[in-house]
């Protein structure tokens, strides 16, 4: 059974900080197309603190670490992203209390729980053109690999593919949540910045682990260039 | 960007510092949470009234803190809901034995943040409750969004609840007043220009030199339609029609009438609108018992205005009459 | 022109009608002379305080009428002195056995109109006297012009004289107070944008997207220089330096500090300026006893601000503290 | 001795109304070059009322009529023009009390008195680039003809010439009075609208009396076209 070590989780978080900080303006610009242009800044405000306080973050176990990250998000991220990402990390933390390593199935469960939490918090469902449209297919990928080959590398590549694909598949949809939902039809034709962020993070994780793949959506190519 | 601003990222903390420095006897400022509470502190015999939302709508929300108004408020970045922790800390700081009523303008980000904060506070034994304000008639309820937006009517909910809390009404009673005001208040706005959030540096929407956005939201959200600019009287008629037909208001109603500036419109233009609105109100058989002309809920430097009607009864009239004090003042 | 306006020629009477409709218990409006006087009428035991000038500076001047402030005021067209007759009728309407003090902002048109009106009233046996307000440090006195302009410091002259009159001080005493305030108050402003008088339909001056006018007048008169826009703190330092060095003010002075918006600048930006100005005042050894942040003397929808310092003594502090009421109000 | 009848004075006033109303926007535009762009409107507001109430204006004698006109100006003209023109008409009225005809010398005295009144009111002197720079040379013309040929036609033509000439002679000056004085050096190169108005009124009086003359200053040509 493939194990994911705490060190690998830490590394993924560090990589995520870099992704979010590098794309602060780009993600905000994407949000500006149909939303209110604050997504990149909101997210970066939180991850900048996580990055800076990294050494002081409690790393007794994965759960403790994710709990602290969830708290930093709650403290520093405003807008819709604060509750959404804070809830996601909180749910992940609850399932990893005391653990210093997790299985692929654990990871799938964590994401499943995060998705449920985000849905309960914000009321969005698949097709509302939110980051759930990336997270839900990624969850399917995790579940399949957890039940099948259990290959973390293949899992990550397939997950990145799924999130990447979600950008183009939802591009023509009309947003039904967040500020972008307020422009009605005008959001159709623009990518959802939350989905782009998830796909970009997964692509950066691939790169960090030496998994070769070429992003399909132009936005991910741009964000990871 | 024609603004008085230093580092745009510091815009909110800097103006909050200014508000605090200018009101040392009235307000207490906690920079860590962009939180302002009454200097006089919490009275455990009285319900605390709390609010918080994105910045850019001043004097809402932090400038509405004071005796007879809010107990405390926190602000997020411009147009972004405050972080959950700020909301939680605000509830905690304002926690009263009589309970805390959180008045949330109905936006997704604000609702989610206050939901979490209220849950956290409740888990800690604080008696906190939320109430959503949604007076904007411009955008209809829909399956997909969180519904109507909360705009300038917010002022009346705060004023009435603040006065009721001051009188020692209990949490159920204060909440009932919030509901009564919210059920009887309606608003619609119109924008002539966009505004520029300092950190963004560019307008939040494009609008032609001869155009206006009817039913605009206070974050620049689109309204009912984009039109050529009309004479003030015609605009006022449109707003009045949309607002007064919404509940609907009835002939014989005693009302409060508010013309709210969105930030960049001078007071004189608001009075041009008021003159017509007052006339229309009288023609419709309403009695204008109180009026409010000025800035109550803005959108940075946006040129524009909104019209709000609140139906009054003896209880609400008395609550609006009650004394209050905030950082927004003349003398 | 992005304005709420009907027939531009009717802009002033229409907004004055709105002010009157919104303040039926406080104000009395005479359309013929664009004149507003206190509803409570004239008290022959008290000196009447009168003012009048071009429109476009609201809440100055007609919105400064009320108990503890002006007895009456009249307005001309936008930025144009009122006709002589309006001035005369205002003096006549406010004539009191205790005398009338006419507070004139120092502009040629206003001075000539009030000169004539005061002469006419005097000829009829009314005890009327003029006082010229000239607090703007931007433009130096010169042989050719009527001298320094009267700007936001005007508010303090009205407030102090209004309170003194209310206390029953005689005409000499009230005039002495006007002089004391005027001698101790200094202002300078800065514009980021121009404004558009409705009847003109075009900006009164051209200014680049990245420029500001330092020392601007409230009718868009040029100031000391045209510069690239600086960060708010630097602008505040420039204004503070120019104003505080003018009399000069001295370490140990107790002061009132005003950040006045010119019409199009949102309150938050004024507080960014206030935060810095307060800091500079403390650094200079002043004690900020009272502060005023908001709109007191505007220039239509001009984006900009002015900084005013008034040196206080016990008498002036008490006069500023005294209660007052005008059409400019929050609740 | 040449007499100017009350009827001629009335006709001159009526003509002046037409001149001012026709040039409302043009005079304001000229004021906008260095002043605040309200001169035409301010003046027209008053003369529109004079024109409208013409039949009700007391015409017992020239003095009574000019007094009423002065009062209407005081009532309706704002800005600097109210006190300036109001004072001018008032001074003229004071010298014509009870008269139904005046001599050229009377006219010269009236203008002289008006000039004194305007100077006392506004503190301007010759060369400050105000309408006094037209009125003072016109006064010289009146005095000369009153002492000489006493020919009203020739007097009027010479007066119009003098005012016309004042436009170009003061064009390069810096205004020292009125709003235009507030722009400092910037007023140099623009014509003073008050001088243009005086020259235009005199040119229209010439035209009305069939006195052929061609304006020299482009502004008068435009205003009388
Ligand atoms: N209710 C929701 N549930 C899940 N994700 C959401 C929801 N609303 C918005 N999002 C995601 O958040 C992103 C926008 O975040 P942000 O800009 O911080 O929020 P806001 O819309 O309040 O400005 C969207 O691109 C979308 O992916
Ligand atoms: N002090 C003065 N004495 C005589 N004429 C003056 C004076 N000031 C201005 N004028 C004349 O009045 C004209 C401007 O009038 P107007 O636009 O009504 O006044 P304001 O300058 O107050 O806007 C000028 O063109 C000038 O000819
Ligand atoms: Mg956003
Ligand atoms: Mg947002
Ligand atoms: Mg003028
Ligand atoms: Mg002028």
Dihedral angle computed from the Cα positions of residues D172, D176, D181 and D185, in that order, rounded to the nearest 10 degrees: 40
What is the H or E stretch that residue C114 is in? helix C108-123
Across the interface, of B78, B108, B204, the residue whose CB is closest to A177 is: B108
Burial class (CB in 10 A: 0-12, 13-18, 19+), B266: buried
**DSSP letter assigned to residue B327:** S
CA pair distance B123, B232, nearest whole angstrom: 51
Question: pLDDT tens, C33-73?
Answer: 999 999 999 999 999 999 999 999 999 999 999 999 999 99
Grouping H, G, I as helix, E, B as strand and the rest as coil, residue D213 is coil
CA pair distance D145, C54, nearest whole angstrom: 42
Rounded to a whole number of angstroms, the distance from the CA of D214 to the nearest CA of chain C is 31
Across the interface, of C5, C15, C331, the residue whose CB is closest to B324 is: C331
Contact A77, A86 (CB under 8 A): yes
Under an 8 A CB cutoff, do B266 and C235 touch?
no
Query: Which residues of B fall within a CB distance of 8 Å from A74?
Result: 83-85, 88, 116
Residue in C18, C99, C92, C21 with CA at minimum distance from that of residue C52: C92
Question: pLDDT tens, B113-134?
Answer: 999 999 999 999 999 999 999 9
- C248: cis peptide before it, omega within 30°? yes
Query: Which residues of B fall within a CB distance of 8 Å from A84?
Result: 112
Query: Which residues of C fall within a CB distance of 8 Å from D68?
Result: none
Judged by CB atoms within 8 Å, which residues 56-115 of D form the interface with C?
Answer: 71, 74-80, 82-84, 86-87
pLDDT at position B91 is 98
| Chains with at least 3 CB pairs less than 8 angstroms from chain A | B
Question: pLDDT tens, C200-212?
Answer: 888 988 999 999 9
Whether pLDDT at C142 is above 70: no
- Best residue among A47, A131, A133 to mutate for probing ligand 1's pocket (most ligand atoms within 8 Å of CB) is A131
Query: Which residue did the predictor score with more confidence, D32 or A68?
Result: A68
Contact A199, A160 (CB under 8 A): yes
Which ligand does the CA of A39 lie closest to? 1
Q: State whether the beta carbon of D124 lies less than 6 angstroms from ligand 2.
A: yes
| CATH code linked to domain A3-223 | 1.25.40.340
The number of C-alpha atoms within 13 Å of A206 and in the hemisphere containing its C-beta is 23
Tell me the helix, strand and coil percentages in chain A, rounded to 5.
70, 5, 25
Tell me the C-alpha to C-alpha distance, in Å, between residue B329 and each of B164, B274, B295, C328. Answer: 21, 21, 11, 9
pLDDT at position C200 is 85
**Chain B residue with Cα closest to C159:** B331
pLDDT at position B280 is 98
Stretches in chain D below the pLDDT threshold 70: 1
pLDDT at position D176 is 82
Under an 8 A CB cutoff, do C116 and D74 touch?
yes
Nearest 5°: the CA angle B102, B107, B113 is 55
pLDDT at position B36 is 98
Query: Who lines ligand 1 at CB under 6 A?
Result: A 31, 35-36, 38-39, 42, 79-81, 84, 118, 122-124, 130-132, 177-179, 192-195; B 108-109
Query: Which residues of C fall within a CB distance of 8 Å from B69?
Result: none
Strand segments (E) across chain B: 27-30, 35-38, 48-55, 72-78, 100-105, 128-133, 185-191, 211-214, 225-228, 254-261, 287-294, 304-311
What percent of chain B shows pLDDT beyond 70? 98
Whether pLDDT at C97 is above 70: yes
CA pair distance B81, B74, nearest whole angstrom: 9
Chosen from C8, C109, C130, C206 to mutate, greatest number of chain D CBs within 10 A: C109
Question: pLDDT tens, B149-158?
Answer: 999 999 999 9
Whether pLDDT at C103 is above 80: yes
First-to-final CA distance of chain D: 34
pLDDT at position C196 is 95
Residue in C130, C165, C162, C160 with CA at minimum distance from that of residue C146: C130
Judged by CB atoms within 8 Å, which residues 219-238 of B form the interface with C?
Answer: 229, 231-233, 235
CA nearest ligand 2 atom 10, residue: D130
The number of C-alpha atoms within 13 Å of A181 and in the hemisphere containing its C-beta is 24
Domain boundaries, chain D: 3-223
C197 Cα–ligand 5 center, Å: 11
CA pair distance B220, B263, nearest whole angstrom: 12
Query: Which residues of D fall within a CB distance of 8 Å from C145?
Result: 176-177, 181-182
Residue in D40, D95, D47 with CA at minimum distance from that of residue D67: D95
B239 Cα–ligand 4 center, Å: 27
CA pair distance B57, B38, nearest whole angstrom: 19
CB-based contact (8 Å) between C144 and chain D?
A: yes
pLDDT at position B175 is 98
Mark the residues whose beta carbon lies below 5 A from ion ligand 4: A 36, 38, 79; B 80
Cα R_g (chain A), whole angstroms = 16
CA pair distance C169, C166, nearest whole angstrom: 7
What is the average pLDDT across C113-130?
Answer: 97
- Best residue among A138, A194, A196 to mutate for probing ligand 1's pocket (most ligand atoms within 8 Å of CB) is A194
Stretches in chain B below the pLDDT threshold 50: none
Contact B138, B217 (CB under 8 A): yes
Under an 8 A CB cutoff, do D32 and C200 touch?
yes
Concerning whether B61 is annotated as a catalytic residue, the answer is no
**Chain B residue with Cα closest to C306:** B4
CB-based contact (8 Å) between B77 and chain C?
A: no
- Best residue among A28, A80, A85, A170 to mutate for probing ligand 1's pocket (most ligand atoms within 8 Å of CB) is A80
Under an 8 A CB cutoff, do A78 and B197 touch?
no
Mark the residues whose beta carbon lies below 5 A from ion ligand 6: D 31, 35-36, 38-39, 179
A121 Cα–ligand 1 center, Å: 11
Residue with tokens 């009447």: C48
What is the average pLDDT across C161-189?
Answer: 98
β partners of residue C101: C49, C129
Q: State whether the beta carbon of D14 lies less than 6 angstroms from ligand 2.
A: no
Distance of alpha carbon C171 from its chain centroid, rounded?
A: 21
CA pair distance C29, A16, nearest whole angstrom: 66
Whether pLDDT at A32 is above 80: yes
Concerning whether B57 is annotated as a catalytic residue, the answer is yes
pLDDT at position D19 is 98
What is the predicted ipTM?
0.94
**Chain B residue with Cα closest to A119:** B112
**DSSP letter assigned to residue A181:** G
Whether pLDDT at A105 is above 80: yes
Chosen from C206, C263, C268, C269 to mutate, greatest number of chain B CBs within 10 A: C268
Name the residues of C annotated as catalytic. 57, 219
- B15: cis peptide before it, omega within 30°? no
**DSSP letter assigned to residue C58:** T
Cα R_g (chain D), whole angstroms = 16
CA nearest ligand 2 atom 14, residue: D39
Under an 8 A CB cutoff, do B112 and A122 touch?
yes
First-to-final CA distance of chain A: 34
Under an 8 A CB cutoff, do A78 and B112 touch?
no
Query: Which residues of B fall within a CB distance of 8 Å from A45?
Result: 77
Whether pLDDT at C143 is above 70: no
Under an 8 A CB cutoff, do B77 and A42 touch?
yes
Across the interface, of C14, C18, C329, the residue whose CB is closest to B330 is: C329
CA pair distance C173, C42, nearest whole angstrom: 19
Residue in C62, C63, C65 with CA at minimum distance from that of residue C76: C62
Structure tokens at D59: 């015409």
Across the interface, of C79, C83, C115, the residue whose CB is closest to D74 is: C83
């Amino acid at each position: 059974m493939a194990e994911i070590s705490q060190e690998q989780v830490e590394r993924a978080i560090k990589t995520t900080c870099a992704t979010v900080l590098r794309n602060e303006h780009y993600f905000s610009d994407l949000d500006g197309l149909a939303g209110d242009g604050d997504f990149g800044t909101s997210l970066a405000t939180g991850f900048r603190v996580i990055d800076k306080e990294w050494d002081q973050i409690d790393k007794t176990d994965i759960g403790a670490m994710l709990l602290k990250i969830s708290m930093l998000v709650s403290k520093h991220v405003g807008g819709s992203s604060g509750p959404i990402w804070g809830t996601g990390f909180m749910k992940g933390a609850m399932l990893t209390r005391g653990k210093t390593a997790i299985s692929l199935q654990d990871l799938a469960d964590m994401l499943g729980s995060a998705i449920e939490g985000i849905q309960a918090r914000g009321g969005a469902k698949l097709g509302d053109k939110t980051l759930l449209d990336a997270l839900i297919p990624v969850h399917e990928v995790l579940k399949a690999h957890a039940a099948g080959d259990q290959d973390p590398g293949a899992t990550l590549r397939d997950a990145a593919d799924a999130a990447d694909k979600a950008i183009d598949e939802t591009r023509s949809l009309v947003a039904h949540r967040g500020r972008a939902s307020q422009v009605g039809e005008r959001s159709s034709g623009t990518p959802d910045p939350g989905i782009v962020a998830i796909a970009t993070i997964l692509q950066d994780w691939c790169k960090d682990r030496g998994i070769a793949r070429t992003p399909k959506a132009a936005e991910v190519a741009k964000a990871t260039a | 960007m024609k603004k008085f601003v230093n580092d745009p990222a510091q815009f909110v903390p800097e103006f909050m510092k200014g508000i605090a420095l200018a009101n040392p006897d009235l307000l207490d400022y906690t920079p860590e949470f962009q939180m302002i509470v009454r200097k006089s502190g919490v009275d455990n015999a009285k319900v605390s009234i709390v609010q918080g939302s994105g910045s850019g709508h001043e004097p809402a929300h932090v400038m509405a803190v004071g005796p007879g108004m809010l107990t405390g408020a926190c602000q997020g970045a411009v147009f972004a809901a405050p972080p959950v922790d700020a909301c939680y800390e605000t509830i905690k700081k304002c926690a009263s034995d009589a309970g805390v009523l959180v008045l949330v303008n109905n936006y997704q980000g604000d609702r989610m943040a206050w939901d979490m904060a209220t849950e956290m506070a409740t888990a800690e034994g604080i008696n906190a409750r939320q109430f959503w304000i949604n007076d904007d008639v411009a955008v209809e309820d829909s399956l997909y969004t969180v519904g109507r937006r909360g705009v300038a009517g917010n002022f009346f909910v705060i004023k009435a609840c603040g006065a009721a809390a001051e009188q020692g009404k209990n949490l159920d009673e204060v909440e009932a007043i919030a509901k009564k005001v919210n059920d009887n208040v309606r608003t619609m706005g119109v924008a002539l220009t966009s505004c520029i959030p300092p950190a963004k540096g560019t307008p939040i929407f494009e609008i032609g030199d001869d155009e206006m956005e009817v039913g605009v939201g206070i974050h620049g959200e689109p309204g009912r339609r984009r039109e050529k600019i009309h004479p003030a009287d015609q605009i006022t008629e449109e707003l009045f029609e949309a607002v007064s037909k919404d509940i609907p208001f009835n002939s014989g109603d005693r009302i409060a009438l508010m013309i709210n500036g969105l930030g960049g419109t001078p007071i004189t233009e608001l009075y041009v609108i008021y003159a017509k609105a007052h006339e229309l109100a009288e023609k419709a058989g309403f009695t204008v018992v109180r009026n409010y002309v000025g800035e109550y809920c803005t959108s940075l430097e946006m040129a524009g205005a909104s019209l709000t009607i609140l139906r009054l009864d003896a209880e609400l009239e008395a609550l609006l009459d009650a004394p209050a004090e905030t950082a927004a003042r003349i003398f």
